[in-house]
Each structure stands twice: as structure tokens, then as C-alpha cells.
Amino acid sequence: MKIKKIITMSLALSLAFAPLLSSPVSAKEKDFERIKIQSVKMEKNKFKSGEVIVKFKDKVMVSDEASTVQSVEGEVLPDGKVKSDFKVLKVKDVEKAIEKLEKNPNVEYAEPNYVFTKSWTPNDTYYNNYQYGIKNTYTNFAWDVARGSSSQEIAVIDTGVDYTHPDLDGKTIRGYDFVDNDYDPMDLDGHGTHVAGIAAAETNNATGIAGTAPNTRILAVRVLDENGSGSLTDIADSIRYAADVGAEVINLSLGCDCSTTTLQNAVNYAWNKGVVLVAAAGNDGVRTTFEPASYSNVIAVGAVDSSNRKASFSNYGTWVDVVAPGVDIASTYPGNRYVYLSGTSMASPYVAGLAALLKGQGRSNVQVRQAIEYTADAVSGTGTYSSYGRINSNDAVRY
């Protein structure tokens, strides 16, 4: 049986600094408290006990599917919100079931239903600046040409979004909560709210921060619970869900050092429906690929600091398409607060926001990707740490 490598969600990272009060950007920065933000890691070989993901080949008869399930003494678990192209089986022994299923001619693939759980990854760097990322990427100049569209959505697939936050409440759509199986994707962790603010916080409202795509709406999709735990099946289903309900852009500030056909198929499904997918490159500071960022139909995003230097934690290599600010990024946080976080998780929504600006101009996903990559600035490390360099929003919207 092929149990995949260690999986690490790039839910960034860190020790952050949070104002005790929800204050606008212009307010004096003081009275900060240090809070711990949990990243999410997956322990090696850790998967949901007694659960196997199986994808049957096309045109396999229902009776053959049933006999295959019976051959491993399995039980098909009920499908959730999304009608998946795979099934989840309840089995007695995961490894033995997969070994047997992989030999069955009716089966395209079988793999464990991986579980994502939290681990601590501290970073106590404090950078005394709010939104250098907007200026470093020339997004403030891009707004003269494009600000996104209120008829379009960025799907933030994450820990949920605090849709009551004053910088998010007027533009956040409550999508599906795959954790609790309802339509209340409230963020009980904080990571998703921070990501959402970077991508598309309310702008020009005399409050807090400015989002990269000021006019684009946020589709909140929750796949991780309050403990930072969620399944591969929910993440794959959430990508399909976001594509089906019409999201133009999907941000995935998560990932794994793994090989999973289930996730690859979900990404391809969304891309083929015209969606732009953007994902964090990971925070291990290594050249090793990180999925889904490394997939051909995803824009992989690494992180740089305010001086356009590669962030020490950022994964790198020519498999990384572009880089964006990801060190000490200020954004929205539950409880009407704003905090600084660092990570490729923070870099990814800058690119997702830029993709939304371009989508608002009526471009296809292929055209959006070309504009982002071909106009990126060749900062230090381009060609080594990333293929194209740091995004340039102003040049992209004029490309």
C-alpha cells in the first residue's frame, strides 16, 4: 500500500501581534498583545480510522461497484453536500483494503482519507508597518484600472470567515460549512478571516485595511474545524462546490507534501469550469513541491518580505510560479481585530485578489494566469526561488 508522505497545511504560522482594540490603519500602533497562531500539520501516515477513498473507473456497473465494496467488507458512507466522483468506504483495516482495491480492475485509485491537525510553528518577528504589500505589488495603481466586480466571488477555502467583522460583513457570502454540514461557515480559528481580508476586505470605508480586490465578494467555505482538523475528502469536495456555485477564483492557503489523486481531480474539475486556482507554496523553507500548489492548473505562490527577499520559511524552486508579500502581513481577525501574520498563506491571497481584478475585466482563467506570470517583476531569486518573480498588479491589469 502507498501511504503518502507527511502532510503539512500552510496555515501560516506564527506568533502574531494583535491590537487590543479594533482600530483603523491610521491609529497609533500600541497596546499590542502577542498571540499564538497555529499552523496545521498532518502527522505521517495519519488518516481517518477505518475510512478509504475509492474512485471507480468510468462505466463500471453499479453491481460491480457493490461487489468491489463487498470484497473488502466495506460500507459506502453517505455523500455530503457535493456529489463526489469518489466514494468513502468504512472498512476494518485501511491498509489491507487499499492494497486489495488497487488490484481490482474496477478501481481507478484508492487512498486513505487523510486528516489535518494542528501543530505549533512560532515566528516572533514584528514588522512595524501595516500594508506594505499593497504598495510593493503596485496594487494601489492597479485600482485606477480595475477593482474587481461585485458580481464575482473569491472562494476562501479555509477555517471559515468571520462574516461579522466590520471589514468583511458587507461582502462575505456564507457558503457551505463542510465541518458541520450547514451554511454557517463562521471562523473559530482566525486563519481564514486573515486570508479573506488580504484578498478582498472592504475598502474605502474608513475602517481597518484595504483588500486587494475591493469590489469582489468573498465566498466563505469552511473545511477545518476549531481545532484545525479536516479531511482530504472535505477539501476536495469544497473545491468542486466552489466551482459549481460560480466562484471565479479559489484561494487555497493550505496543502500537503503528498501525492493525492482525489485532490488533483478536484483541482482539474474547477480549472475546466474556468476557475483560477491559487495556492500557498508551503512554509518548510525547502525546494520540495507542495500540493495542490505544484499542480499544473494552480498558481503556486511563495513569500517575500518588504524588501522583496525570499522569506526564510517559504518553500521555493521553479515549480513556484510567483511570489508575493508574506512577512508580517496585517489583516482582519475574529473579534473585530487586526493582526500581523506571516506565511505563504498570506502571500497566496494577494495573488488571488489580483486574479479577481483580472477576472473582473472579463478574462479567462488562462488569460488571467498569463497576465499574472508574464508581468511579474524579476526580484532577487527569480529563476531560482520562483519562475516569474513578484507580482505586479498594475502591469497585470494593463497587460
Q: Helices in 91-185 by DSSP H: which ranges? A: 94-101, 132-136, 139-142
Q: Which of 149, 345, 386, 393 is catalytic?
A: 345
Q: How far apart are CA 278 and CA 176, in angstroms?
A: 20
**Is 191 among the catalytic positions?**
yes
Q: What's the burial of 192, exposed, middle or buried (CB within 10 Å: 0-12/13-18/19+)?
A: buried
Q: What's the burial of 89, exposed, middle or buried (CB within 10 Å: 0-12/13-18/19+)?
A: buried
Q: Which of 191, 328, 348, 393 is catalytic?
A: 191
Phi, psi torsion values for 239, nearest 5 degrees: -65, -45
Give 310-367 as a DSSP string: BPTT---STT--EEEE-SSEEEEETTTEEEEE-SHHHHHHHHHHHHHHHHTTT--HHH
**Is 158 among the catalytic positions?**
yes
Radius of gyration of the chain (CA): 20
**Is 259 among the catalytic positions?**
no
Q: How far apart are CA 361 and CA 196, in angstroms?
A: 21
Q: Strand, coil or helix: what is 306? A: coil
- Give the three cell numbers for residue 171: 461582502
Q: How open is the CA angle 357-358-359, to the nearest 5 degrees? A: 95
Q: Which of 10, 14, 158, 225 is catalytic?
A: 158
Check residue 368 and give left, alpha or beta (phi > 0: left; psi -120 to 50: alpha). alpha
Catalytic residues: 158, 191, 345
